[in-house]
Chains A and B, each alone.
Chain A
Amino acid sequence: MKIRTLAATAAIAALALTTAACGGGSNSSSSSSSDSSGGKTLTYWASNQGTSLDNDKEVLTPQLQKFQQQTGIKVNLEVIGWNDLQTRIQTAVTSGQAPDVVNIGNTWAASLQSTGAFMPFDSSALDAIGGKDKFVKTALDTGGAPGQDPTSVPLYGLAYGLYYNKAMFSSAGLKPPTTWEELVTDAKKLTSGDKYGFALAAGSYTENSHFAFINAAQNGADLFDSSGKPTFTSDGVVNGIKRYLDLMQTDKVVNVSNVQYDNGTKAVNDFATRKVAMILNQNNADNSIQANGMKSSEYGVVPFPAPEGSATKVASHVAGINLSIFKNTKNKDAALQFVKFMTSPETQTALDKKFTALPVLKDATPNFTDNAEEAKTFADIYATKSKPLPLVASEDQFESTVGKAMNQMFAKIASGGTVSTSDIRSALDTAQQQVAAAG
């Protein structure tokens, strides 16, 4: 009996792992479809766009109240941090205990679409939220795999930019870089003592995977071939990753401690406290930089530069947040009304400003910063220098496998090792096999 009990305990411990993260997941959604006396209720999971979860709540609540006044539909808001959001969505998909409307990172759109748990925006649904023509086309294209009805629509637009400290650049007699080579030279000049030219979120697999993509794209390489098979080991990808790693490895313009920066905020803090001269961040970094005491006149933004003579000037992926409706919502009409409200010009204007996001609507002007030059730079990057991440179902696996492999490469560099081109290729080959095994 003892053996059996112990073995059973062991078994459960092992098997329970697959459900371990579900615990917090499904408690808040049961009330989503109460329909008493005509007043409907929606559950909405928002992602963390402001400086904190509470800040998000403060920003969104007035809008949700306005929505309730207009339509009589009450919205239960829950703001979820980025570390948990993907797991929470997975749990919701798996269990069917889902909210009605949810924010997703737009790079997940095609992956989530392939689960079949989200409502496709067919032409009637798109008409219900104001027509697809109201959106910027590149933004709407991130809504799902090409050739299918999108399962998400754009909400906030984001793009990467190279932030630089104006004072540090001018005192070193430097101009903001326009090529990768200039960037490295500048960063070397700005690195001395405990000041570094650059800070990276080298411990964040999502950031790492984004730059694997952007650097590869600058080399003219794609991550997936036309049939959706991963091509991570091509020269363009390997060399692109090498270039990014070398900022820490051979150029030594990045503090090795950055390997423990597991989200973008820590690099932003270093920048705002003037410990580093440059960071690569999406435009919503403005919030945190200014919250840390740096004025918007003290920093400038230029597109992330490509190496000299590179085929394309890709400086970012089409980043941003999309809005999805769960297929099994009992309030489809209310959910569509809510999506329409959130993507209406008035709400967009209000939220873009607070969350420092780029507009996803045609004819809207960026209002996230009072610095006209910065707004123009980001609008230009978003409109002309951004390439969407591969719109394939395995995209999320690219992020987790390649991003984590890069975490390990940075760890090896930080602890004194060397990462060669062939090391990168073999790590990417492993990642490729993992993606293939899961597909």
Chain B
Amino acid sequence: MSAATAAPTTPKAAGHRAGKPRRPRPAGWWLPYALLAPAVIFELLIHVIPMFTGIWMSFIKLTKAFIANWGNAPVTGVANYNVALDFNGAVGAGLLRSFLVTCAFTLLVVAISWVLGMAAAVALQKNFWGRGFIRTLFLVPYALPMYAGIIAWKFMLQKDTGAINHFFYDNLHLGGDKPFWLIGDNAFISVVIVAIWRLWPFAFLMLMAGLQSIPSDVYEASAVDGAKPFRQWRSITLPMLRPVNMVLILVMFLWTFNDFNTPFVLFGNGQPPAGDLISFHIYNASFLTWNFGSGAAMSVLLLLFLLLVSGIYLIVLNRRSHRA
């Protein structure tokens, strides 16, 4: 696209259409538009059209009686929203609980992944023997195909045959019964751990890249002034990584809040209430009951929430950075 912006600067203005009142178009004026067109078309196809289709779906009664012929589905106005937001009803209560579970899940996963990523990035900032190997090792969860990784966790978390219970209860001889990890309340811990395992290498990678751009003489100067490592981290690393952190945390928040694959692969069809993340909840609400209108309404609500949070986040942080 950078080529496209460069194109119209070619100064060969050929005034062939003199009839036009305004100044004549330069030859090749269409080139930037032609180069942009694929991007615009795909943006429309991939983002905008599905989004508006989804919003439209949320206002119609798209149940299985109409699924074969969408056009016949009656418009129900905000009925789907009323059901989704009626927290005294079964559907609304389920959505609210799933929303709260997802908030707790997101908070934990983003915070812990960020801390782990930061710790690893700082620890690996100095050159030492074997650094390349450890860096690669840390990135393995991110490089593994998502499904392979999560399915491995699923096996490890089985009650009777899983590696985790085997290690704690057969090797270390912890007392008591082996717990279930994928059902009941433990499911929340499991899904948080697996999500962190998947996400933290991304935080590590981004922060490591960010650290490369901090000149080393700043650290040297502060060391001369007597700053200890923690002070260096707090007063130099953190402020200089601010732009990276700002984007990183937002992106991690959005990914984690929308996480579908982790609960889907980990729990299969029998998702426990403690691991009922919102994307998965919406999928179940629309696919299992064939009620796509209701699912679309929930998706739109999720979209509004994420828009709101992202908007507030960026406004607040940008204002602060202007003041600084």
Contact = CB atoms under 8 A, between A and B. Distances in A.
Interface of A: 2-3, 6-21, 83, 87, 90, 93-94, 96, 111, 114-117, 203, 205, 257, 259-260, 262, 327, 393, 396-397, 400-401, 404, 407-408, 411-412, 414-415, 417, 429-431, 433-435, 437-439
A193 to B, nearest CB: 15
Given A257-B159, A262-B269, A433-B89, A117 B289 contact: no
B250 A15 contact: no
Contact of B310 (A3, A96, A400, A414): A3
Contact of A18 (B65, B186, B299): B299
B98 interface: no
A260 B182 contact: yes
- Of the listed residues A6, A11, A83, A407, the one surrounded by the most CB atoms of chain B closer than 10 A to its CB is A11
Interface in B291-321: 291-292, 294-296, 299-300, 302-303, 306-307, 310-311, 314
B250 A396 contact: no
A7 B306 contact: yes
Contact of A260 (B46, B158, B279): B158
Contacts of A262: 268-270
8 contacts: A14-B300, A17-B260, A17-B295, A114-B64, A396-B290, A412-B184, A438-B291, A439-B63
B206 to A, nearest CB: 15
B265 interface: no
Contacts of A115: 64-65, 67-68
A117 B180 CA distance: 42
Contact of B89 (A15, A94, A117, A437): A437
B296 A18 contact: yes
Contacts of B287: 18, 21, 87, 90
B18 interface: no
Given A2-B314, A15-B299, 20 more contacts: A10-B257, A11-B303, A11-B307, A12-B50, A12-B51, A14-B258, A14-B300, A18-B296, A93-B67, A94-B68, A96-B68, A115-B68, A117-B68, A397-B288, A397-B289, A400-B289, A415-B180, A430-B90, A437-B91, A437-B291
Contact of B184 (A11, A19, A400, A414): A414
A149 B65 CA distance: 17
B63 A17 contact: no
Nearest to A434: B90
B260 A6 contact: no
A10 B67 contact: no
Contacts of A431: 90
A433 B91 contact: yes
Contacts of B310: 3, 6-7, 10
Contacts of B314: 2-3
B269 A205 contact: yes
B183 A414 contact: yes
B69 interface: yes
Nearest to A114: B65
B64 A111 contact: yes
Given A3-B311, A7-B307, A12-B47, A17 B64 contact: no
Secondary structure at the A interface, as helix, strand, loop or mixed, is: helix
A346 B292 CA distance: 43
A194 to B, nearest CB: 10
Interface of B: 46-48, 50-51, 53-54, 57, 63-65, 67-69, 83, 89-91, 94, 158-160, 179-180, 182-186, 250-251, 254, 257-258, 260, 268-270, 272-273, 279, 282-283, 286-292, 294-296, 299-300, 302-303, 306-307, 310-311, 314
A18 to B, nearest CB: 5
B50 A15 contact: yes
B295 A8 contact: no
A338 B55 CA distance: 42
Contacts of B273: 408
Nearest to A87: B287
Contacts of B64: 93, 111, 114-115, 393
A114 B63 CA distance: 10
A321 to B, nearest CB: 20
B176 to A, nearest CB: 11
Nearest to B302: A14
A88 B134 CA distance: 43
Nearest to A94: B67
Contacts of B89: 433, 437
Contacts of B302: 14
B88 to A, nearest CB: 10
B90 A433 contact: yes
Contacts of A412: 184
A208 to B, nearest CB: 10
Contact of B292 (A14, A18, A114, A117): A18
A83 B269 CA distance: 9
B51 A8 contact: yes
Nearest to A83: B269
Nearest to A111: B64
B68 A9 contact: no
A90 B290 contact: yes
Q: Which 3 A-B pairs have the closest CB atoms?
A: A415-B184, A433-B90, A15-B54
- Of the listed residues B63, B251, B257, B290, the one surrounded by the most CB atoms of chain A closer than 10 A to its CB is B290
B279 A17 contact: yes
A154 B204 CA distance: 58
Contacts of B286: 17-18
- Of the listed residues B69, B94, B307, B314, the one surrounded by the most CB atoms of chain A closer than 10 A to its CB is B307
A16 B50 CA distance: 8
B160 A17 contact: no
B68 A116 contact: yes
Nearest to B286: A18
Contacts of B46: 12
A257 B295 CA distance: 33
A414 B65 CA distance: 38
Contacts of A259: 180, 183
Nearest to A96: B68
A117 B258 CA distance: 32
B306 A15 contact: no
Nearest to B258: A13
A434 B289 contact: yes
A397 B90 CA distance: 15
A93 B68 CA distance: 5
Given A11-B303, A407-B270, A6 B251 contact: yes
Nearest to A410: B183
B180 A260 contact: yes
